[in-house]
Amino acid sequence: MNLVTDGLTILRRNLIQLKRVPDLILFTLFQPIMFIVLFGYVFGAAIGGGDGANYRSFLIAGIFAQTILFGSTITGSSLAEDMQKGVIDRFRTLPMHPGAVLAGRTLSDVVNNTISLVVMALTGLIIGWRIRDGVLGALIAFALLLLFAYAVSWIMA
């Protein structure tokens, strides 16, 4: 019973499940795009005055945090669904580490949040958001967002 290998197996299971559930793909890929375009263009000119470029700087940061937080809540609902369907009971009968289900689930949600973060960043760059403190600063900020997402995933678990 090894937490790492068992957790990676559960991670793989959850990622395979992700690509087979259209709702999760929609939530991961299209919801961030819709929020950024909606709030960037519909409200951007009204709030930011003129072209809304200054508003977009604050908008993207808020949508990053909101989407990462929403994405982390998938952990709790997915675990509840697995418990309801009896999947967790089946895992308990297997010779695997007891923490592997939680570790794999939370890690798969970090992968899911990473995909959302990349989609949001690319969409933000397309609508005019710019990284001002360089690539290293942006990578550190993205890492903090993913660490926050991982922590929230554990709270939801």
Q: How far is CA 84 from the centre of its chain?
A: 23
User: Tell me, what's the pLDDT at 52?
Assistant: 53
Of 107, 105, 116, 41, the closest CA to residue 78 belongs to 105
User: Tell me, what's the pLDDT at 46?
Assistant: 65
Between 92 and 41, the higher pLDDT residue: 92
Task: Give residue 98's pLDDT band: very low, low, confident or very high (50, 70, 90).
Answer: confident
Give the mean pLDDT of 64-69.
86
Task: Give residue 69's pLDDT band: very low, low, confident or very high (50, 70, 90).
Answer: confident
Is 46 exposed, middle or buried, given 0-12, 13-18 or 19+ CB atoms closer than 10 A? exposed
Task: Give residue 151's pLDDT band: very low, low, confident or very high (50, 70, 90).
Answer: very high
Q: Is the pLDDT of residue 72 over 70?
A: yes
Q: Which two tokens stand for residue 128?
A: 């005019």
Task: Give residue 146's pLDDT band: very low, low, confident or very high (50, 70, 90).
Answer: very high
Give the mean pLDDT of 46-54.
58
Task: Give residue 28's pLDDT band: very low, low, confident or very high (50, 70, 90).
Answer: confident
Q: What is the dihedral of CA 54, 55, 61, 65, to 10 degrees?
A: 170
Task: Give residue 18's pLDDT band: very low, low, confident or very high (50, 70, 90).
Answer: confident
